[in-house]
Chains A and B, each alone.
Chain A
Amino acid sequence: MDLWVVFLTGLTVGGLTCLVVQGGLLASTIAAREAEDFREGSGRKHNLLPVLAFLVTKFIAYIILGFLLGLFGSALNFSDSSRITMQILAGVYMVLVALNLLNIHPVFRYVIIQPPKFLTKIVRNTSKSADLFAPALLGVFTIFIPCGTTLAMEAFAISSGNPFWGAAILGTFVLGTTPMFLGLGVLTSRLGDAFRTRFLKIAGLLVLYIGITSVNQGLVLANSPITLQTLAENSPIQIDLSGGASNQNANYLAGQVNGVQNVDINIESSGYNPRYLQVKSGIPVKMNLISKNVYSCALAFRIPALKIAKNLNPTGVETIEFTPTKKGKIVYTCSMGMYSGIMEVI
Chain B
Amino acid sequence: MVKKKFKITNMHCSSCAMLIDGDLEDTEGVKSASTNFAKGETEIEFDEEKLTDKTILETIKKTGYTALPQG
Contacts and interface: CB of A to CB of B under 8 A. Distances in A.
Interface of A: 16-17, 20-22, 24, 101, 106, 109-110, 112-115, 117, 120, 123-124, 145, 147-148, 190, 193, 196, 200
B14 A115 contact: yes
Contacts of B34: 117
B47 to A, nearest CB: 21
B40 A106 contact: yes
Contacts of B40: 106, 109
Contacts of A20: 15-16, 64
A124 B18 contact: yes
Contact of B36 (A16, A113, A114): A114
B17 to A, nearest CB: 6
B13 interface: yes
A109 B37 CA distance: 7
A109 B18 contact: no
Given A17-B12, A17-B13, A21-B13, A112 B18 contact: no
Given A109-B40, A193-B10, 14 more contacts: A17-B12, A20-B15, A20-B64, A21-B15, A22-B15, A109-B39, A112-B14, A114-B14, A114-B17, A114-B38, A120-B21, A124-B18, A124-B22, A147-B14
Chain B interface size, under 10 / 10 to 19 / 20 to 34 / 35 or more: 10 to 19
Contacts of A190: 64
Contacts of A193: 10
| Chain A interface main SS type | helix
Contacts of A113: 14
A110 B12 CA distance: 12
A147 B13 contact: yes
10 contacts: A17-B12, A20-B16, A20-B64, A21-B18, A114-B17, A114-B38, A120-B18, A145-B14, A147-B14, A196-B12
Contact of B15 (A17, A101, A117, A200): A17
Interface in B18-65: 18-19, 21-22, 34, 36-40, 64
Nearest to B18: A120
A148 B36 CA distance: 14
Interface of B: 10, 12-19, 21-22, 34, 36-40, 64
Nearest to B16: A21
Contact of A147 (B15, B21, B36, B38): B15
A123 B36 CA distance: 18
Given A21-B18, A123-B18, A114 B37 contact: yes
A110 B36 CA distance: 10
A190 B61 CA distance: 13
A110 B14 CA distance: 10
A22 B16 CA distance: 10
* 10 smallest beta-carbon distances between A and B, as pairs: A21-B15, A147-B13, A114-B14, A120-B18, A109-B38, A110-B38, A17-B13, A124-B22, A145-B15, A148-B13
Nearest to A196: B12
Contacts of A24: 19
B19 to A, nearest CB: 6
A122 to B, nearest CB: 11
Nearest to A149: B13
Contacts of B21: 117, 120
B12 A115 contact: no
A20 B17 CA distance: 12
